Amino acid sequence: MTKTRRFGMLLSCLLLLFASAPQSQASPGRGPLVTIRYTEHGIPHIVARDHGGLGYGYGYASATDNVCTLAETYVTVNAERSLFFGPDAPAQAGITTAGSSLNSDLHFQRINDSGIVDGYARSAPSRVRDLVRGFADGYNHFLRDNRVSDPACAGAPWVRAITEQEVYRYAYAVALLAGSGALIDELVTAEPPSRSGVQARSAPTADALVDGIRASDSGNGNGSGNGSNAIAIGAEGTRFGKGVLLANPHFPWKGALRFWQSHLTVPGELNVSGASLAGLPVVAIGHNADVAWSHTVSTAATVGLFEVRTVPGSPTRYLVDGRPQDMVPQAVTVRVRGAHGSTSMVTRTLWSTRYGPVLSGLSGVALPWGESAYALRDANATNFRLVESWLGLGQARSVEEIQSALSTTLGVPWTNTLAVDRRGRALYADIQVVPHVTDDHAARCNTALGAGVFARTGVSILDGSRGSCEWGSDSDAPVPGLLGPDRLPALVRGDYVANANNAPWLANPAQPLTSYPRVVGPVGGPPSLRAQQALRTVQRRLDGTDGLPGKGFSSRTMRDVLFADQSRAAEIGKADVLKMCAAFPPGQAPSSGGPVDARAGCAALARWQGDYRLDSEGSLLFSRFVLRLGSVPGGPWRVPFDPARPLTTPNTLAIDRGEVRVAFGDAVRELAAAGVPVGARLGDNQHVTRDGARIPIHGAPHELGVLNVITPVWAPGGNTDVVHGSSFIQVVEFGGHPSPRTYSLLAYSQSADASSPHNADQTRLYSSGTWVRERFTETEIRHSPALRIVEFRR
């Protein structure tokens, strides 16, 4: 039964009986199964008697905001896109990299046919089973009681009730996101030579594979293209309190990886607030009364390859220790929509070895199947522990307990964790799922190709013809094949730790981490300009040399630092660009299309302050220029990276090089062709459209070295809508208060439904730089002027 009440005196009395509070006690079996209290911007505070009720409330509330996105996600993981949308339709954004719905379906049907997800569902811990069962029931309750009004899916036949199975399938897809989920096309198109009729090709070079892997990383640490910043300031680095945490993941603004904000409470067990991907009924990034944590996409390679030698004349047989073994064929069949509503079946045979499935390439580089074949092993292929990990983080009371939760479950799939606690301790930990490929093992077992790739990327290509080259195991890992937590890097400090998708070694430059294997990340490798910006920004604030009052961080200064939108690329490159401008004869820059008048552009850059705020002028020209520098052979810097000076190198643009000068001229010409003045305001040319109105968006692409990453799509007429970047942002401060003081923003707002009042409300706040003060305590929640309550009983 569902009831809706408005805020009033009676409500205040009733809330005291069942509402959540850090010290509250609830009588088992009394009151509603679940209560959802909505405060400003549609943020739900879900209170339940148990995990089943918590999942129920989460499923109902998340469907209220994002039913079309969730329903499409369940079509995806059920391998039914070709049936509903057609085989050539695009795959769903975010959760796959497949080139078509057919390839997406083949991938997910292969997983579903294997039974691996169903097997976990039967053996999952009881609270996970309760949570998932409740989520499915709550989602289905929404569909029963509400007519879907979102024009994106209203009346669509694929918006249907779900079972627990779909929830588990989605969680598994998230686990695989940085590994096999980023190689779907390569996995479902691998065919033996006799079937494809293609002659065996020569193996790729290590340079080609390295370039492909690095290009797919997009500077963010893995093939998903996602990234993040997190800064954890301990008591020694704060102005007034015990700790401050910035959480700033950079994820897609549309699709299956949208964040959704919530506050989840089971009295006496859990009281946690933050955000997660909408289909995961947990808080993945957030805080409780005593700790706050965030994640950043790591540099760890979560997959590895094995090269197997095939038996001459039998490409689906291979040798291990001189003995032939048969590859395992799997006939995968999906239903496909045809013309005039007809359906048919498409079957494709996919092949696997003892190491994993055969694949046709890696990061866009073809891998031949002839005298040998290549198989993929994904370290997350047996990882269903991610929900357990996040439940454990939500119950932690110190950074030591955060580290313990990570180590016990080893279920975080592809991210670092940064945290602060009430005592003022700051934690960095890359305790996640990582292949057990030590440096010694790689040296013994990498093929010649693998040796060239592993040192530069951490991706191993091991000799599958030797059984001893299988991944190793550690006794403190939950399953074979993974590095145990004792081998993974972690650091606790009193001042700070930070990460912007850089390798672990620079979590705090004052105490470099060096004793971890290459598969986790490089030791001494170059941080991105964004990582430099994060670390330099922290150090300047602690030193008091950033122009702001005093020293050290508070919630206010952390928020100001993020939305200052300062560019590290501008800091080290703008002066050189102006020198280059002064040398153009007379103001004519070379370009691919001949000389172009650069005087107005150079004048705009001379006035520009090096930031990506809405009123910045000249920033768009600089952005288009820097994005072109990525293709300069050998890089555009005269002074290369030096591991001894990781925060100040590289530097000095090589403005005497023709490629650099042409890149600038091409940027000027590009803006002219788009009809965009070179000195135009950023806010007039970087935006999202909601309800027919443009909302200007501040921030810049990753390559500019701006913390607040924003990725628009460039078209012939200039930037179109933002598609990626800062998503859920949270600043948590511990001080002398019973609960933390928290400010947050969900940059694209809670709901993807264009008809929802919460489709763009936080987006407008983000545009103006206005933060939302979180309501966490009972008093704060009860006094919300927007308070609305929904109850469910059994």
What digits encode the pLDDT tens for the residues 665-676?
999 999 999 999
CB 321 within 8 A of CB 467: yes
Confidence of residue 222 (pLDDT cuts 50, 70, 90): very low
CB 111 within 8 A of CB 118: no
Which of these ranges, 1-5, 103-107, 723-727, 751-755, has the smallest mean pLDDT? 1-5
Alpha helices in 650-786 (DSSP H): 658-674, 761-768, 778-782
CB 272 within 8 A of CB 377: no
Q: What is the pLDDT of residues 465-520, one digit of tens each?
A: 999 999 999 999 999 999 999 999 999 999 999 999 999 999 999 999 999 999 99
The yes-or-no verdict on residue 417 having pLDDT over 50 is yes
Length of the chain: 794
Q: What is the pLDDT of residues 21-50, one digit of tens each?
A: 332 323 344 567 999 999 999 999 999 999
Joined together, the tokens standing for residue 609 give 């302050």
User: CA 648 to CA 506: how far, in whole Å?
Assistant: 13
User: CA 172 to CA 277: how far, in whole Å?
Assistant: 13
Pick the closest to residue 597 from 584, 578, 583, 579 (CA basis): 584
The yes-or-no verdict on residue 8 having pLDDT over 80 is no
pLDDT of residue 664: 98
Q: pLDDT higher for 638 or 793?
A: 638
- Percentage of the chain exceeding pLDDT 70: 94
pLDDT of residue 13: 37
The yes-or-no verdict on residue 713 having pLDDT over 90 is yes
- Catalytic residue of the set 228, 273, 294, 616: 228
The yes-or-no verdict on residue 55 having pLDDT over 80 is yes
Q: pLDDT higher for 532 or 8?
A: 532
Confidence of residue 15 (pLDDT cuts 50, 70, 90): very low
Pick the closest to residue 298 from 406, 445, 428 (CA basis): 428
Q: What is the pLDDT of residues 325-349, one digit of tens each?
A: 999 999 999 999 988 889 999 999 9
Question: What integer best gives the mean pLDDT of the chain?
Answer: 93
Q: What is the pLDDT of residues 747-759, one digit of tens each?
A: 999 999 999 999 9
Joined together, the tokens standing for residue 724 give 């990626």
User: CA 251 to CA 501: how far, in whole Å?
Assistant: 13
Q: What is the pLDDT of residues 372-396, one digit of tens each?
A: 999 999 999 999 999 999 999 999 9
The question of whether 623 is a catalytic residue gets the answer: no
Mean pLDDT in residue range 206-226: 69
The yes-or-no verdict on residue 93 having pLDDT over 90 is no
pLDDT of residue 647: 98
Instruction: Record the pTM.
Output: 0.94
CB 773 within 8 A of CB 744: no
SS3 state of residue 322: coil
Pick the closest to residue 388 from 402, 406, 400 (CA basis): 406
Mean pLDDT in residue range 346-354: 98
pLDDT of residue 2: 43
CB 263 within 8 A of CB 372: no
